[in-house]
Structure 1
């Protein structure tokens, strides 16, 4: 006898491990049955492993899902359904035709609260939305908040422009270069007259367009962009740049025949455009695309890279605009060497940098990108923001003919010499004459149609409307909608507003419906109904911001809009355009821009 299977224990316990050799029949049955039992064992183990794997996968995926879910800040209203999705509010926002600003305003109304939060998707911190006027003013002026990375990330192609900086030493240096540009002598003696000259040109241009188009409406968008472009070019380059976009358009339109004018589907006249100076062409082409990146639904970094490096055309334009600005910087340096006075805005920037460098005992940065980018950024921002505001003014005046007629009457009452001499008012007359109703028209436009959102980042833990806001949170201040251009309708908000110790009341006049364009809100009238003065503190309007990060170009923008509005209303009556062309739908980039801008004019 021998063991069937050998093991060491068999030597000490033979009775347990030795058995007689099975018969042929028994052996055959055993060997035939053995594969069946082995398969059952394998299958059973596989099924068990599958169960373990499925359970483990479920636990991992569930944990991953929980980890990716948005983490709302405590006690601040939010959309509960969005908190159950890893995408949060992102899909809802993406599908809203009004974009971020309009969507944010809707959220405040939906929650019936002056503060709520948006859950922006996996691994993203909540964004706090604030619409309460008092709190917005405080956020803009408190050191707990700084420039938001939300903005900086969306304008990478503006480079080291001060708009793209946190409030640090580089930002202070950049802003210091601009101080002399807004001095009263420069504004009234250089910028103002150049705006007036441009207005004379655009009036001439529009009279020719009205004649060629047989009185039909036409787009004003490009023409007002050229107006702002000419102004910002004079502002920076003065007489060193003698070309004019509007002068080119006037000369071109004067040589146009009626047969060369096309007409759109709604009867609007469509005019060809004259070719611009190469730098102005580069500025408008790149500026339009750089600012449009703000609203892109594609990854900003990818779009920016493609615009900067993706095509040879854009690469050449970026290189050209840098070399053009550097040439004018060199001109300013030469003037400083010869002790000449500053003749242009670039000269003033150069002189200020040289003084600052000498005082600090450091080399100048005149040859570095930060100086070039400051000029570049101001050229882009100055052109886009002002032209957008000019379009809104004329659209609103056309929609409210009563306001238009009142404005004309007030202008004629204030500028009597121009009326008597049957001429356009001069730049000095418009700037130096007190015209409260004109100021009210401009302020009302800014309330309704200027900036919509202002982002800030918290630089430390802080408190907002009684809620804890952690460091690094993006706070979006909503400047259109509840409390600004729309009366809050919810009980929660109304109760908050009754607490006079918390919220400054803005008395206001005029129509109680905040969505109506009514300049009377800003006027103080006497017992007999006469206008006594314009009062900019009677309503909420923060189009230019507040505090240290307020828009530095406010004085320039208001000068342009004041001269343009006065001269346009003096010369033209603005009638209604076809309904299909009169929409107030808008896009938001570096400014709040109307998608349609058509005028129907009749000379007075």
Structure 2
């Protein structure tokens, strides 16, 4: 073979290989649908999901979120989400995503069951009363309070040893939450608690201090406190997406939704935790099949993304003419616990846990900005709101600088 022939063969082979690689790349991109874009998106997968409808000037759109899967409809509008979860439960049932996430480890967990599953009724009957005020105040509150006391004791020791420096709070908060749930569900005693083990590893433990009692916390009626909890849940958005599946051929407004279509319903995003295009929204919002806001007005423009507990307060005049501030849970859109008959079952207990922890921690410590003892450039990174996406969102950096009061 001459040098010319060899050069020709190499050139042709190179061109064929280039074409083949381009075809393979296009095929892979096509078969993966929108997943490559979603995983590469700045701000995380959830932000990519709830931002998609806005790109097309509508409240819902479709996306291809996996190979060989039907398109998934994304709903990023408060009114539409309320309509689907509250008034159209027979048309839109729980999707299969919950079962895919936790069904392997907890196949009989009611979280994974569709509403038409005959097992769900038995589960609800068994769990009936666990979120009643009597059970929460007489049983759950005592264990939640005890766990929080141990958390305060642990952080008192850590703050003493840290000497003004920041320390990691992530594992402590995780263990405290798990201890609360386990002690309420399984009547776990103090000796079995993870926090107790952590405290026992540190010396010079002193538990003699005066804190608000369980009864005092339960009777606490401070509107601004309730507003802080509600605003924290709105901005943190621990659960930002839920799934539904169409059980029949139906419509959302003017859009046809075939039976078996998966829906992703956004619990945060445009209109709830960040700005949206009102012009596009009003123009594209489906006219039919959408329920009202149930007395919930839209958030005013300009400060949706701002942390502002005052947005949940309103003034009220009593019969004596005195003006006072009260907490208004319907001040604006917030779906931190979802909504409707399949909303978070443990919502009341979760709020009780948050109330108890915030009260005792703020009573015991003065919290300052997180400071890196090694590198001042780390301060901004450690004080941001970046999250790790999982079944529920978790803070990527969870440190506290606590000064004992």
Give SS of 2:325's match. strand
Shift of residue 97, structure 1, vs aligned partner: 5.0
Matched, 1:148 2:95: yes
Q: In structure 2, do the counterparts of structure 1 residues 109 and 229 end up closer, same or farther at CA, with 3 Å as the change threshold?
A: same
Matched, 1:521 2:322: no
Shift of residue 496, structure 1, vs aligned partner: 5.5
Q: In structure 2, do the counterparts of structure 1 residues 122 and 503 end up closer, same or farther at CA, with 3 Å as the change threshold?
A: same
For 2:343 and 2:269, locate their aligned partners in 1 and report how far apart those are by CA, in whole Å: 21
Preserved CA contact (<8 Å) 2:387 2:396? yes
Partner of 1:91: 36
Partner of 2:327: 534
Preserved CA contact (<8 Å) 1:523 1:531? no
For 1:590 and 1:502, locate their aligned partners in 2 and report how far apart those are by CA, in whole Å: 29
Partner of 1:133: 78
> RMSD of the alignment, in Å?
2.9
User: Any idea what the Cα deviations from partners look like across 1:31-63, whole Å, max 9, x if unmatched?
Assistant: xxxxxxxxxxxxxxxxxxxxxxxxxxxxxxx9x
Partner of 2:347: 554
Partner of 1:572: 365
Q: In structure 2, do the counterparts of structure 1 residues 538 and 174 end up closer, same or farther at CA, with 3 Å as the change threshold?
A: same
Partner of 1:224: 173
Partner of 2:10: none
> Superposition pairs for residues 360-375 of structure 1, below 5 Å?
none
For 1:139 and 1:110, locate their aligned partners in 2 and report how far apart those are by CA, in whole Å: 22
User: Any idea what the Cα deviations from partners look like across 1:60-88, whole Å, max 9, x if unmatched?
Assistant: xx9xxxxx99xxxxxxxxxxxx8xx3432
Q: In structure 2, do the counterparts of structure 1 residues 438 and 497 end up closer, same or farther at CA, with 3 Å as the change threshold?
A: farther
Select 1:479's aligned residue among 240, 264, 267: 267
Partner of 1:262: none
Partner of 1:458: 246
Q: In structure 2, do the counterparts of structure 1 residues 573 and 474 end up closer, same or farther at CA, with 3 Å as the change threshold?
A: same
Preserved CA contact (<8 Å) 1:587 1:593? yes
For 1:546 and 1:572, locate their aligned partners in 2 and report how far apart those are by CA, in whole Å: 34
Give SS of 1:487's match. coil
524-533 or 245-254, which moves further after superposition?
524-533
Matched, 1:470 2:263: no
User: Any idea what the Cα deviations from partners look like across 1:306-330, whole Å, max 9, x if unmatched?
Assistant: xxxxxxxxxxxxxxxxxxxxxxxxx
Partner of 1:248: 197
Select 1:563's aligned residue among 356, 360, 371: 356
Matched, 1:598 2:370: no
> Superposition pairs for residues 176-575 of structure 1, below 5 Å?
176-238=125-187, 242-254=191-203, 423-450=210-237, 451-489=239-277, 491-495=279-283, 503-504=292-293, 506-507=296-297, 512-526=302-316, 531-575=324-368
Shift of residue 489, structure 1, vs aligned partner: 2.2
Preserved CA contact (<8 Å) 1:574 1:601? yes
For 2:215 and 2:358, locate their aligned partners in 1 and report how far apart those are by CA, in whole Å: 15
> Superposition pairs for residues 90-109 of structure 1, below 5 Å?
90-109=35-54
User: Any idea what the Cα deviations from partners look like across 1:153-202, whole Å, max 9, x if unmatched?
Assistant: 12222222111111211122122211132232221122112222222221
Preserved CA contact (<8 Å) 1:510 1:519? no
Preserved CA contact (<8 Å) 2:60 2:75? yes
For 1:498 and 1:523, locate their aligned partners in 2 and report how far apart those are by CA, in whole Å: 31
For 1:193 and 1:575, locate their aligned partners in 2 and report how far apart those are by CA, in whole Å: 29
For 1:93 and 1:459, locate their aligned partners in 2 and report how far apart those are by CA, in whole Å: 27
For 1:233 and 1:242, locate their aligned partners in 2 and report how far apart those are by CA, in whole Å: 13
Larger of the two Rg values belongs to structure: 1
For 1:570 and 1:454, locate their aligned partners in 2 and report how far apart those are by CA, in whole Å: 35
Partner of 2:374: none
Preserved CA contact (<8 Å) 2:271 2:298? no
For 1:461 and 1:201, locate their aligned partners in 2 and report how far apart those are by CA, in whole Å: 53
Give SS of 1:116's match. strand
Matched, 1:166 2:114: yes
Q: In structure 2, do the counterparts of structure 1 residues 197 and 463 end up closer, same or farther at CA, with 3 Å as the change threshold?
A: same
For 1:509 and 1:549, locate their aligned partners in 2 and report how far apart those are by CA, in whole Å: 25
Q: In structure 2, do the counterparts of structure 1 residues 502 and 202 end up closer, same or farther at CA, with 3 Å as the change threshold?
A: closer
For 2:173 and 2:251, locate their aligned partners in 1 and report how far apart those are by CA, in whole Å: 43
For 1:471 and 1:509, locate their aligned partners in 2 and report how far apart those are by CA, in whole Å: 34
Give SS of 2:265's match. strand
Q: In structure 2, do the counterparts of structure 1 residues 510 and 473 end up closer, same or farther at CA, with 3 Å as the change threshold?
A: closer
Shift of residue 424, structure 1, vs aligned partner: 1.9
Q: Which runs of 5+ in 2 are unaligned?
A: 1-22, 371-378
> Which protein has the bigger helix share?
1
Preserved CA contact (<8 Å) 1:508 1:521? no
Shift of residue 135, structure 1, vs aligned partner: 0.8
For 2:234 and 2:189, locate their aligned partners in 1 and report how far apart those are by CA, in whole Å: 37
User: Any idea what the Cα deviations from partners look like across 1:317-354, whole Å, max 9, x if unmatched?
Assistant: xxxxxxxxxxxxxxxxxxxxxxxxxxxxxxxxxxxxxx
Give SS of 1:541's match. coil
**Quick one: higher RCO (CA 8 Å, sep 6+), 1 or 2?**
2
TM superposition score normalised by structure 2: 0.81
Give SS of 1:158's match. coil
Shift of residue 511, structure 1, vs aligned partner: 8.2
For 1:571 and 1:530, locate their aligned partners in 2 and report how far apart those are by CA, in whole Å: 32
